[in-house]
Amino acid sequence: MSTPAQDTAVHVDVVVEAPIERAFTVFTEGFGRFKPREHNLLGGEEIAETVFEPRVGGHIYDRGVAGGECRWARVLAYDPPTRVVFSWDISPQWEIERDPSRTSEVEVRFIAETPDRTRVELEHRHLERHGTGWEGVRAGVASAEGWPLYLERFAQVVDD
């Protein structure tokens, strides 16, 4: 079975009014400042800080207010201020994936359009490595804390 590459990746771009160095620094060091609130695998514990270890082999991890810690990414490439790549060690059931062969990866490129404007291109690729996301459907249904995909959709419906 083969799937076209573009079907197993997500691309999102944004242009920011900032020099490339700042764009890179805010994305890496400041990731915890802007990531969505539901990006939290600490089991309900509030996140005190998100730490981005700025080196290949480092981790991105959340530290909870009660001392919990969750490492959800490995830094695979770190080339300031133009590029960073990290793994996405989060399963479709929104749990930490410990098998690296079942993790996807996120590459972020920073391109200076002018001295004060930067294009940021994000690619989240190899989604197929997570499996179909449905292999564990019954186990996922059995654990109420699973199902972020559906929970979000559910939340949207309830919001409407």
Partner 1 sequence: MTYQTGLAALADPTRRAIFERLADGPRAVGELATELPVSRPAVSQHLKVLKAAGLVLDEAAGARRLYRVDPDGIDELRRYLDRFWSRTLTAYKVAVEQPRKEDA
Nearer to partner 1, 7 or 99 (CB): 7
CB of 117 to partner 1, least distance (A): 11
Q: Which is nearer to partner 1, 57 or 116 (CB)?
A: 116
For partner 1, the closer CB: 35 or 57: 35
The minimum distance between CB 15 and partner 1, in angstroms, equals 8
Q: What is the 3-state secondary structure (H, E, C) of the chain?
A: CCCCHHHHCEEEEEEECCCHHHHHHHHHHCHHHHCCCCCCCCCCCCEEEEEECCCCCCEEEEEECCCCEEEEEEEEEEECCCEEEEEECECCCCCECCCHHHCEEEEEEEEEEECCEEEEEEEEECHHHHCCCCCCHHHHHHCCCCCHHHHHHHHHHHHC
Judged by CB, which is closer to partner 1: 79, or 153? 153
Q: How far is the CB of 103 from partner 1 (least distance, A)?
A: 13
Residues that bind partner 1 (CB under 8 A): 3, 7-10, 12-14, 16-18, 22-23, 26-27, 30, 33-39, 92, 120, 122, 124, 127-128, 130-135, 137-138, 141-142, 144-145, 147-155, 157-159
